[in-house]
Amino acid sequence: MSADYTVQGSVAVVSLNNPPVNGLGLATRSAAVAAIERAEADPAVTAIVLTGAGKAFSGGADIREFNSPKALTEPTLHSLIRVVENCSKPVVAAIHSVCMGGGLELALGCNYRVALPGAQIALPEVKLGLLPGAGGTQRLPRVLGLEMALDMVVSGTPVPSEKLAGTALFDQVFPAGTDLLAAAVEFAARVAHARPLPKVRERAVDYPHPEAFIQAAREKVKAMAGPFPAPLACVETVAASVSKPFEEGLSFERERFLHLMQTPESKALRHAFMAERAASKVPDVPADTPVRKIERAAVVGAGTMGTGIAMNFANAGIPVTILETKGEALDKGLATIRKNYENTVRKGKLTQEKCEQRISLITGSLSYADIAQADIVIEAVFEDMGVKESVFRQLDETMKPGAILASNTSTLDLDRIAASTSRPQDVIGLHFFSPANVMKLLEIVRGKATGKDVLATCLALSKKIRKTGVVSGVCDGFIGNRMLEQYLRQAFFLLEEGALPEQVDGAIERFGFAMGPFRMSDLAGNDIGWYIRKRRAVESPHIAYSKTADLLCEQGRFGQKTGAGWYDYRAGERKAIPSPLVNDMIVQHSRDLGVERRDIADSEIVERLVYALVNEGAKILEEGIALRASDIDMVYLSGYGFPLHRGGPMFYADSVGLPRVLDAIRRFAGGRHGEAWKPAPLLERLAAEGKGFQA
Ligand code: NAI
């Protein structure tokens, strides 16, 4: 049942019923049309209340129907709205909790709207690269006025219903605590015989000379929209509500909506939206897997990562103790935390009271006994197996039974760390990204012995601390850094062959990356990669890599923190200035290698960097390190600044076409350091079968 029908006196009540948010899927639309028609046909009914059962009026389109023919099957949302609008008896929308997207468009098709305060009112389609396609852009300005409607359509931001009381959107906003249904039925009985029935479509948008306002909006939105076409299309369609008669405006909106549906930008945004939801699902860990309670946390190590990780818990209201070996290091870590919070207060993003509250949740200690009762402990000490093993042995000895023992290691073998304890089922990797209190990504590393309840608990925890959790299997670098290594390798080879850091960064930033590889390395610290390469050179001496980055580190150019890296930096500034010294060193290095430098096109730079990610991503997928291609996309979108409008490396490869990607990889395999380009068997197979990575 996806719409309930009851009659109270002479008022029919149609209640959308499609949990969790009464998404307007085909079955719900059909049931709603049938219910309205039934009420219209019943002579005993004089008015109709349309509302939503459970937690929402309606959250809009049913996301489960996205990209399926059902979305376009009759009755479409348009048809449902027409049935409501053309009904010969008054239809009153009774709105509570959530009224968004198609839900709001449906309400706008009703003759009257009454609401409870606290309902979230929005047209959020722009966030998926779309615009409201069922009359929202034409009807909302008719009740809210041009400026307010434009703001809501372009931003997609929800507005609480009480803020809209007094506009023509609502005929009445009841006081909090009112029995909405009873009040709406009473309202409907009162207007049952009012004629003519008011229709939003018949109202005029009152804005005598809108051109200047529209032009200013157009320019402002253009500057903010970046590569996304939807915000500007929103401006144009809302503008049409003033310049065109209603039906023409509606057709224009339809045409723009269908156009946006096909744009790569909207496809990428919809992919990212679905990918984020998919990432929290693990096939062999069902939704009803029991979770452990997390009420107290501990962090070992008060360095760069440990302090940021502790802040995540405090922000979520979970008390956390940081353990250090030396009082000095502990004090420094706690001072960093205070400074971070105070900066946020200074920026006006946190109240002083909340700041103190959060700081009070974070305590420090030098004794394992003080963390023994924590429900979860996250180790963030030096990246050294010996140190980690010794910490885990102590955690094993001191932590209470059932505590989750997590490591923030970025490269070390989690199974080996787990083996240093007597409870490997309680050990898991929680790989945060720097700065840990800011970056959205959390790789949740599942060891071979990690318990399903431990995994389920950490997936739930990632939501609680507002991270995008993505599950990874155990391998060197997990999903993100393992792929990044191939990307960086290509970036370094490009320097040897003829490119300079600013050219490589420029090309990939124009592609849309937040930051090119060299600016990123300067920010993260070039010494981290140096340390890892030295370890690799011992473990895997056969893997060729460029020595350029080592030459840089040998000169102490570790990046922003030393005031010099791939670029020069002025004291206290983050602006990367091309360094003649580094560029000479790069050219000299090519000479030493006997490589004749050549002009390298931006397109080659982008292909080599992005396809290096794709090829390694395919191997990661095939090995089962990642559960699905969209998880890899989530890692890159939320942790590595991959351009959102391209949907992540795997989605991007699908949109280019895998045969084309494979051709390029084979071409590179025939070039210098071609051994780095062995095509992933999965890529070869999918390309041959004419398929993509997205199942
Ligand atoms: P860091 O050097 O800033 O901090 C390490 C802290 O651990 C120091 O304060 C040190 O005093 C403390 N420590 C060392 N041994 C200890 C012990 N036995 N007991 C208690 N405290 C001890 O290092 P950072 O950068 O915070 O890295 C920590 C871990 O996080 C490493 O495993 C690293 O690979 C990983 N990681 C680092 C990222 C980064 O960007 N820095 C990103 C993701 C993971």
List pLDDT tens digits, range 349-358: 999 999 999 9
Per-residue pLDDT, 1: 64
The closest alpha carbon to 214, from 298, 269, 150, 299, belongs to 150
Ligand 1 atom nearest residue 434's Cα: 40
pLDDT digits (tens, 9 = 90+) for 495-528: 999 999 999 999 999 999 999 999 999 998 898 8
CB of residue 324 inside a 6 A radius of ligand 1: yes
Q: Which atom of ligand 1 is nearest to the CA of 394?
A: 18
CB under 8 Å to 452, separation ≥6 — which residues?
Answer: 284, 285, 289
The three-state secondary structure class of 567 is strand
**Mutational test site, ligand 1, from 305, 439, 442, 478, max ligand atoms within 8 Å of CB:** 305
Protein residue whose Cα sits closest to atom 36 of ligand 1? 410
| Residue range 166-176: mean pLDDT, rounded | 97
* Contact criterion met (CB below 8 Å) for 250 and 288: no
Specify whether the CB–CB gap between 192 and 92 falls below 8 A: no
Measured in Å, residue 548 CA sits from the centre of ligand 1 at 27
Closest-CA residue, ligand 1 atom 16, reads: 381
Q: How confident is the model at residue 62 (pLDDT cuts 50, 70, 90)?
A: confident
Confidence of residue 65 (pLDDT cuts 50, 70, 90): confident
pLDDT band for 54, please (50, 70, 90 cuts). very high
Does any ligand 1 atom lie closer than 6 A to the CB of residue 647?
no
Q: Which residues contact 235 (CB under 8 A, 6 or more apart)?
A: 150, 154, 214, 217, 218, 221
3-state SS assignment for residue 610: helix
- CB of 305 within 6 A of ligand 1: the answer is yes
Q: Is 484 in the pocket of ligand 1 (CB under 6 A)?
A: no
**What is the Cα–Cα distance from 273 to 468, expressed in whole angstroms?**
12
- Ligand 1 midpoint to CA 379 (Å): 8
Cα of 364 from ligand 1 centre, angstroms:
16
> Ligand 1 within 6 A of 380 CB?
yes
3-state secondary structure 76-132: CHHHHHHHHHHCCCCEEEEECCEEECHHHHHHHHCCEEEECCCCEEECHHHHHCCCC
Nearby residues of 410 by Cβ (< 8 Å), 6 or more positions away: 383, 431, 477, 478, 481
pLDDT in tens, 98-108: 999 999 999 99
> E strands, 533-681, where?
567-568, 577-578
Q: Omega into 208 within 30° of 0, i.e. cis?
A: no
Cβ-count burial 128-165 (b if 16+ within 10 Å, e if not)? bbbbbbbbbbbbbbbbbebebbbebbbbbebbebbebe
Atom of ligand 1 nearest to the CA of 383: 32
Half-sphere CA count of 566, side-chain side, radius 13 A = 26
Cα(461) to centroid of ligand 1, in Å? 22
Q: With a 6 A CB cut-off, is 304 part of the ligand 1 pocket?
A: yes
Residues 6+ apart with CB under 8 A from 216: none
Which amino acid is located at 673 in the chain?
Answer: H
Maximum average pLDDT range among 200-214, 270-284, 527-541: 270-284
* Cα-to-centroid distance, 403 and ligand 1 (Å): 21
CA of 340 to the centre of ligand 1 (A): 18
Answer yes or no: are the C-beta atoms of 133 and 125 closer than 8 Å: yes
Please report the pLDDT score of residue 47 as a whole number: 98
| Interstrand relation of 112-115 and 47-52 (parallel, antiparallel or unpaired) | unpaired
Indicate if ligand 1 lies below 6 Å from the C-beta of 381: yes
Confidence label for 690 from pLDDT (cuts 50, 70 and 90): very high
Is the model's pLDDT at 541 over the cut of 70?
yes
Nearest CA-CA partner of 78 in 277, 296, 237, 251: 251
466: its two tokens: 């507002």
d(CA 547, CA 350): 45
Contacts of 338 (CB under 8 A, 6+ apart): 359
Asked if residues 598 and 673 have their Cβ atoms less than 8 Å apart, the reply is no
pLDDT at residue number 534: 84
User: What is each CA distance from 694 to 271, 275, 650, in whole angstroms?
Assistant: 10, 10, 8
What atom of ligand 1 comes closest to residue 326's alpha carbon?
Answer: 11
**Residues pairing with 363 in the sheet:** 321
Judge if pTM exceeds 0.85: yes
3-state secondary structure 166-202: CCCCCCEECCCCCCHHHHHHHHHHHHCCCCCCCCHHH
Residue 549: its H or E element = helix 548-554
For position 121, what pLDDT does the model report? 98
Provide the 3-class DSSP secondary structure of residue 289. coil
Does ligand 1 have an atom closer than 6 angstroms to the CB of 409? yes
Q: What is the pLDDT of residues 595-630, one digit of tens each?
A: 999 999 999 999 999 999 999 999 999 999 999 999
Name the token pair of 206: 């009152």
CA distances from 13 to 53, 94, 175, 187 (A): 11, 10, 21, 12
Q: Distance between CA atoms of 482 and 484, rounded to whole angstroms?
A: 5
pLDDT interval class at 544 (50, 70, 90): confident
Q: What is the pLDDT of residue 514?
A: 92
For the Cβ of 382 lying below 6 angstroms from any atom of ligand 1, the answer is yes
The mean pLDDT of 46-61, rounded to a whole number, is 97
User: Ligand 1: which residue has its CA nearest to atom 42?
Assistant: 433
pLDDT grade, residue 547 (50/70/90)?
Answer: confident
Mean pLDDT of 461-467: 97
Angle, CA of 56, 61 and 66, to the nearest 5°: 140
Residue 548: Cβ-neighbour burial (10 angstroms; 0-12, 13-18, 19+): buried
- 680's tokens: 């992933």
Angstrom distance (rounded) from CA 464 to CA 320 = 15
Write the pLDDT tens digit of every residue in 386-398: 999 999 999 999 9
Report the alpha-carbon distance of residue 313 to residue 647 in Å, rounded.
30
543 CA to centre of ligand 1 in angstroms: 27
What is the atom index within ligand 1 of the atom nearest the CA of 323? 20
Which residue CA neighbors atom 35 of ligand 1 most closely?
A: 409
Q: Which two tokens stand for residue 181?
A: 């249904």
Looking at the predicted structure, is the pLDDT value of residue 538 above 90?
no
- C-alpha of residue 480 to centroid of ligand 1, in Å: 19
* Residue 370 pLDDT exceeds 90: yes
Instruction: Give me the chain's average pLDDT, please.
Output: 96
Q: What is the mean pLDDT of residues 215-238?
A: 97
What is residue 66's predicted lDDT score, i.e. its pLDDT? 73
Measured between alpha carbons, how far is 303 from 598 in angstroms, rounded to an integer? 43
Pocket of ligand 1 contains residue 334 by CB under 6 Å: no
Candidates 379, 382, 522, 535: which one to mutate for ligand 1, based on the most atoms within 8 Å of Cβ? 382
606 lines ligand 1 (CB under 6 A): no
Residue 683 · residue 632 · CB < 8 Å: no
From ligand 1's centre to the CA of 306, what distance in Å?
A: 7
Instruction: Pick from 368, 405, 410, 520 the residue to mutate for probing ligand 1's pocket: most ligand atoms within 8 Å of its CB.
Output: 410
CA distances from 449 to 32, 327, 460, 631 (A): 50, 35, 19, 22
Q: Is the CB of 391 under 6 A from ligand 1?
A: yes
107-142, pLDDT tens digit by residue? 999 999 999 999 999 999 999 999 999 999 999 999
Reduced to 3 states, what is the DSSP secondary structure of residue 379?
strand
Q: Whose CA is nearest to atom 18 of ligand 1?
A: 391
Query: 388 C-alpha vs ligand 1 centroid, how far in Å?
Result: 10
User: Which residue, chain included where needed, has tokens 């095509």?
Assistant: 679
Residues 37, 552: Cα–Cα separation, whole Å? 75
* Residues identified as active-site: 105, 125
